[in-house]
Amino acid sequence: KAGVTQTPRYLIKTRGQQVTLSCSPISGHRSVSWYQQTPGQGLQFLFEYFSETQRNKGNFPGRFSGRQFSNSRSEMNVSTLELGDSALYLCASSFPLSDTQYFGPGTRLTVL
Amino acid sequence: DQQVKQNSPSLSVQEGRISILNCDYTNSMFDYFLWYKKYPAEGPTFLISISSIKDKNEDGRFTVFLNKSAKHLSLHIVPSQPGDSAVYFCAASADAGGTSYGKLTFGQGTILTVHP
**Phi, psi torsion values for B100, nearest 5 degrees:** -90, 5
For chain B positions 35-94, those within 8 Å of chain A (CB to CB) are 36, 41-46, 49, 89, 91, 93
- Mutation pick from B101, B105, B106, B108 vs chain A, by most beta carbons of A within 10 Å, is B101
Q: What is the pLDDT of residues A82-100, one digit of tens each?
A: 999 999 999 999 987 788 9
For range A9-28, the mean pLDDT: 97
Average pLDDT over residues A49-72: 95
Distance CA A50, CA B11 (A): 38
Query: Nearest CA of chain B to the CA of A45: how many Å?
Result: 6
Output the pLDDT for position A2: 81
Angstroms from B33 CA to nearest CA on chain A = 9
CB contacts, 8 Å: B49 with chain A: 99-100
SS3 state at B97: coil
For residues B24-49, average pLDDT: 94
| Whether A24 contacts A4, CB under 8 Å | yes
Residue among B43, B102, B103 minimizing CB distance to A90 = B43
| Section A14-39 average pLDDT | 96
> pLDDT, tens digit, for every residue of B48-103?
999 999 999 999 999 999 999 999 999 999 999 999 999 999 999 987 655 667 88
